[in-house]
Chains A and B, each alone.
Chain A
């Protein structure tokens, strides 16, 4: 498919279509003078700025849309960008969606740090690539099991010895009798950019980045 000539003049900004980051992302855009016009649940929406359209897709897919240049900019979690491993520019920390990606085990397991997890143990996670890189660097050989939600129940059901999952307040871990024994990474919402869009639409990308940076 050939490039759409209209795209040269517009910026498409991808943001999560649901979840904890959508509302703060919309609020941030609004405070930067970009409001959704029409149906904000439509996957492609116009905004009050005729040069910016919004693409609403799953947060986990946003790095993919940005990497391939379907979207020029995207707002998603740093943990998600790290998991995909795709090369995109990370232009700004937007200051919301803060959480940690932690290693957690059953409170009664007796394991106090990630390096004490026995070799060959199973680790359940939604972040298999980040998890593998973390344990590889630690020198602990584990088997990662990829789950798509409710990761915290895996130890109790005997599926895994440990989990790697996001934690904001620790309440979910506590509720499932888990304790965090190590931090894999800190995460928050980031403004990411396609590398070619940064170059071919430099002035517009810089303008939007600066407006989002200074917005309260």
Chain B
């Protein structure tokens, strides 16, 4: 875990500020929203929070295997690179809107990018 990044970005308060903004963008995007249509929204919001905590370098319980298993049914439904990129863009825009420093955004995006193969089951 990258405590320094997590603290510099604002810790849990930053996650709380970002999570609704981020999840609303994801759900408003018709190219990816259907992947979330059969999921309980409260559970999903909690998962988005863990994801952001991880991407912000904070304490989390994610493992590559968890990501792989959790997304396997979505890969079967056609989850691919374009969807991954769309989510990444929403994350980046969220951070920009919150006024996060570009250098920190770069670090967050690098962590998020490292999940690429596990999420797409590659």
Q: Do A and B come from one complex?
A: no
Interface of B with A (CB < 8 Å)?
Answer: none
